[in-house]
Amino acid sequence: MNTTKAKAYSASSPTSPLVPVEIDRREPGPKDVEIDILFCGVCHSDLHQARDEWHNTVYPCIPGHEIVGRVTRVGSRATKFKAGDLAGVGCLVDSCRKCASCLAGREQYCTAPAVFTYNSDDVVLGGKTFGGYASRIVVDEAFSLRIPAGLDPAAAAPLLCAGITTYSPLRHWKVGPGQKVGVVGLGGLGHMGVKFARAMEARVVLFTTSPRKVEDGLKLGAHEVVVSTNEAEMAKHAGSFDFVLDCVSAQHDINAYLGLLKLDGTLCLVGAPEHPLPVAAFSLLLPRRSFAGSAIGGIAETQEMLDFAARYRVTPEIEMIPMQKINDAFERLLKQDVRYRFVIDMASINA
């Protein structure tokens, strides 16, 4: 297959900084779209992957799965976009398209498994997929997304991971008016959980370990903010929640949050702690509670989320950085020194 060169930033080992490189991108096939990347969000998953913290990284690694850009070329049989349109690419670039999950529009749970935007087997070129820390990407139109009018393209980028990761479980568990919903952690995921749950007309309570985030939580839409180290405040809410969305990736006491659920309530984990979280049996048994997990969303649900975000004006709080500052951004991520999502201005990759 014919390829062309693109600029990118790559990690060559778990301890190396990301540095400029050139990579091969395929020429658009009949059903492909080629996208000049304008903005790419910085997800904590990018840091985990670049530093091999999940112990599965193949190098060179080019992260980035919150991609928004301008379509430059389309394949001869592609109908979803035309040159000049805004398009997005999230965490997925392909799947088997024939397993039960794919046929139900849940490609993220493809049993093949799904082909992720980076560090997955590249079924077209071979090797591994390369993500959005690059000047261009070529993707099958079936795994591309429309960016609705009215959404700021830069702010739309983090919706393609942080947005759908929080939207999907809220939709799956039918969060809506009359429900009391907890969001644990006010970071890149948690602040989106607060915004979406509020837009869905639930009563939203944010739980944070940081007193300095109380004011932010209220500004972002929480009806109430509880500092989770305050035992009296936690006790006041015991057994009262329909649903709790746990967005924390650090080690924490999951039983404290399970205790917030009422009968038949659900706690859904979307953060990814490095080590297992001990769960006490009676945190689930009395009263009957569920402890669940959720991962991103399929293409149709991600498009639904983008349309919802445009309709209700739900966008992340972002800090724009040039590509050359990505290593600094990773260090700041480790210190939780961002409110609440970095977005790379990809025009800087040509500087």
pLDDT tens figures, 82-132: 999 999 999 999 999 999 999 999 999 999 999 999 999 999 999 999 999
Q: What are phi and psi of 143, to 5 degrees?
A: -115, 20
Q: How confident is the model at residue 298 (pLDDT cuts 50, 70, 90)?
A: very high
**pLDDT surpassing 90 at residue 350:** no
- The tens digit of pLDDT for each residue in 56-88 reads 999 999 999 999 999 999 999 999 999 999 999
Domain 163-293: CATH superfamily, name plus number: NAD(P)-binding Rossmann-like Domain (3.40.50.720)
% residues pLDDT > 90 (the chain): 94
Domain boundaries, the chain: 3-161+297-350, 163-293
Q: What are phi and psi of 44, to 5 degrees?
A: -60, -25
Q: pTM for the full model?
A: 0.96
State the CATH architecture for 3-161+297-350. Answer: Alpha-Beta Complex (3.90)
Cβ contact 334:48 at 8 Å: no
CB-based contacts of 342: which residues, under 8 Å, 6+ apart? 41, 42, 318, 319, 320, 321, 329, 332, 333
Q: Mean pLDDT of all residues in the chain?
A: 96
Looking at residue 274, what is its pLDDT?
Answer: 78
Q: Which helix (H) or strand (E) is 26 found in, with range?
A: strand 19-26
- Could you identify the residue written with the tokens 């949050």? 257
CA distances from 236 to 7, 228, 317 (A): 54, 11, 30
Looking at residue 70, what is its pLDDT?
Answer: 98
Looking at residue 293, what is its pLDDT?
Answer: 97
